[in-house]
């Protein structure tokens, strides 16, 4: 290829998209780590308050003469004795577990949406050789007809209602100066299928009140095709409110201007930044274009369907339908293909697989290693500062293994609190902020992350403190008191 470019005189060029995307990803990671550091610093007073409160309780309990409570009190007082070193170790573990919890959440979410299902799953029909996919409107009805030809047990449960065509409509309120602040992207679909075929907007994904409101809004959209539903984030960005009427000049469909009425907002964290409009309106506008241009069709009239989603009851349904759709005899102008939704999303994410690989196998191990070194350094300094205390403990009867266990226990305690508090905040904050990836809806931190984060914090603290603990174990009483003397 390069030889051909050189002989043809074409300039050699390198695609800079992926390096730029990688730099952007690492920039976002830096922002995330910075934000987590600030949150960790903000939680330090709470951490020390908890340690102090527990030490008071243990002090009261140790008055009964219990050796267990006395040793536990010694551990908690050890954390309070060097607040700077304890804070450093806590922050290192807090940042580590919080960042890894976020990375795990994203990877886990991607794993869920790309996992193949065996029943009641969705498949996608797209144009076979062109991106973005652009298919004739007739393909939707053709797919419905093919579904009707399947055996009864392989047909969709709801028939044609389990098929939805997507058309993408993007436009601006200011065609002379289009900017992100005046632009909007919408899914152009059958309104009554929004709450049955759109992931994240089905009954199982919404509260009762949210679902009832979506049912009301989609019914209103069906009554008047000029009505639209938009996410709150997009309305705020465009400085618009529910009830306003807007004129949108299409950026995709040349010479077409839509007159929309905003009738409601999408539920929180559902398709943030976009909206929904009626497919009927697009069809009417394309037909109107033809009438006003001497019956000449709009250039995109036969290319206005971008995706067709079908819900099938069984894997066999998909296999038999895919064999027909992939046959040029049925879909040839243009050729079409059918794949499972998970496979389609996986194909979309293939461009990012190197970034995900780097996050899982380079960034995460590197962070674990760095934080282990930070903890080892902090605890080593603490051990050197407490050599006299360790010597006194040995004089009082503590064996070397007891001293080593004390150091390890203090580190594990820090790991426990840092791991739990960081992952709990991730779980709680992301559960309320509701971050979204593309059109896949908001993702949430699974509650199991709190267990994983706590175990990770304790494990990293243990690994980082092994060296200092072994050093404390070898402290000789005679050497310490000789230096004192």
382 Cβ contact partners less than 8 Å away, ≥ 6 residues apart: 82, 85, 86, 468
For the chain, the domains span: 18-114+352-484, 130-334
Closest CA to 455 of 430, 422, 426: 422
Q: Which residues of 292-325 are buried (b: 16+ CB within 10 A; e: fewer)?
A: eeeeeebebbbbbbbbbbbbbbbbebbebbbebb
Give residue 3's pLDDT band: very low, low, confident or very high (50, 70, 90): very low
pLDDT tens-digit profile of 172-229? 999 999 898 999 999 999 999 999 999 888 888 888 999 999 999 999 999 999 999 9
Average the pLDDT over 321-328 and give the result: 88
Span between the terminal Cα atoms of the chain, in Å: 79
Please report the pLDDT score of residue 340 as a whole number: 84
What sign for the dihedral angle of Cα 366, 367, 370, 373? negative
Pairing of strands 183-189, 119-127: unpaired
Joined together, the tokens standing for residue 432 give 């309320």
Confidence of residue 7 (pLDDT cuts 50, 70, 90): very low
Range from 185-189, 262-266, 374-378, 422-426 carrying the lowest mean pLDDT: 374-378
* pLDDT > 70? residue 322: yes
Please state, as a whole number, how many other Cβ atoms lie within 10 Å of the Cβ of residue 55: 19
Q: Per-residue pLDDT for 455 more than 90?
A: yes
Q: Is the pLDDT of residue 434 over 60?
A: no
pLDDT of residue 128: 87
Confidence of residue 132 (pLDDT cuts 50, 70, 90): confident
Of 100-109, 285-294, 429-438, 448-457, minimum mean pLDDT range: 429-438
Average pLDDT over residues 466-473: 87
Per residue in 10-60, pLDDT (tens digit) is 343 444 545 665 666 667 777 878 888 999 999 999 999 999 999 999 999
Q: What percent of the chain has pLDDT over 90?
A: 39
In this prediction, residue 5 carries a pLDDT of 36
Global pTM reads 0.69
Q: What is the mean pLDDT of residues 351-364?
A: 73
- pLDDT for the residue 436: 55
**Helix, strand, coil share (%) of the chain residues, nearest 5:** 60, 15, 25
Stretch among 68-82, 127-141, 354-368 having the lowest mean pLDDT? 354-368
pLDDT of residue 246: 94
């Amino acid at each position: 290829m390069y030889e051909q470019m050189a002989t043809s005189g074409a300039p050699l060029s390198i695609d800079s998209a992926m390096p730029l995307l990688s730099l952007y990803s690492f920039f976002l990671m830096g922002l995330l780590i910075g934000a987590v550091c600030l949150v960790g610093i903000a939680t330090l007073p709470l951490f020390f308050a908890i340690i102090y409160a527990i030490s008071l309780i243990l002090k009261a309990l140790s008055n009964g003469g219990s050796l267990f409570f006395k040793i536990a009190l010694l551990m908690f007082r050890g954390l309070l004795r060097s607040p700077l070193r304890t804070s450093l170790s806590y922050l290192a573990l807090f940042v580590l577990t919080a960042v890894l919890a976020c990375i795990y959440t994203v990877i886990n979410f991607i794993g869920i949406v790309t996992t193949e299902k065996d029943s009641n799953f969705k498949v996608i029909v797209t144009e076979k050789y062109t991106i973005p996919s652009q298919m004739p409107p007739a393909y939707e009805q053709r797919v419905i007809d093919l579904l009707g030809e399947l055996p009864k047990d392989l047909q969709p449960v709801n028939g044609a209602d389990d098929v939805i065509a997507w058309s993408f409509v993007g436009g601006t309120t200011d065609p002379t100066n289009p900017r992100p602040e005046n632009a909007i992207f919408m899914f152009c679909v059958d309104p009554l299928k929004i709450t049955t075929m759109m992931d994240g907007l089905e009954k199982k994904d919404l509260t009762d009140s949210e679902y009832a409101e979506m049912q009301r809004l989609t019914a209103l959209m069906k009554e008047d095709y000029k009505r639209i539903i938009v996410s709150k984030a997009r309305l705020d960005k465009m400085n618009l409110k529910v009830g306003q009427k807007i004129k949108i000049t299409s950026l995709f469909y040349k010479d077409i201007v839509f007159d929309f009425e905003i009738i409601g907002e999408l539920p929180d964290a559902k398709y943030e930044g976009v909206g929904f409009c009626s497919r009927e309106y697009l069809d009417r506008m394309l037909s109107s274009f033809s009438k006003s241009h001497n019956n000449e069709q709009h250039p995109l009239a036969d290319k206005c369907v971008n995706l067709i989603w079908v819900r099938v009851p069984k894997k066999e349904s998909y296999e038999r339908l895919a064999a027909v759709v992939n046959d040029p005899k049925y879909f040839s102008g243009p050729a079409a293909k059918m794949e499972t939704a998970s496979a389609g999303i996986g194909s979309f994410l293939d461009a990012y697989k190197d970034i995900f690989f780097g996050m899982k196998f380079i960034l995460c191990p590197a962070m674990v290693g760095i934080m282990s070194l930070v903890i080892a350094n902090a605890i080593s300094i603490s051990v050197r500062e407490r050599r006299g205390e360790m010597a006194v403990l040995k004089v009082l009867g503590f064996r070397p293994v007891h001293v080593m266990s004390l150091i390890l226990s203090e580190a594990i305690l820090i790991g426990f609190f840092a791991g739990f508090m960081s992952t709990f905040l991730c779980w709680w904050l992301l559960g309320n902020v509701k971050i979204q990836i593309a059109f896949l809806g908001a993702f949430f931190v699974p509650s199991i992350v709190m267990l994983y984060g706590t175990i990770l914090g304790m494990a990293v603290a243990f690994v980082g403190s092994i060296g200092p603990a072994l050093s404390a174990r070898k402290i000789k009483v005679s050497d310490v008191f000789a230096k004192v003397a």
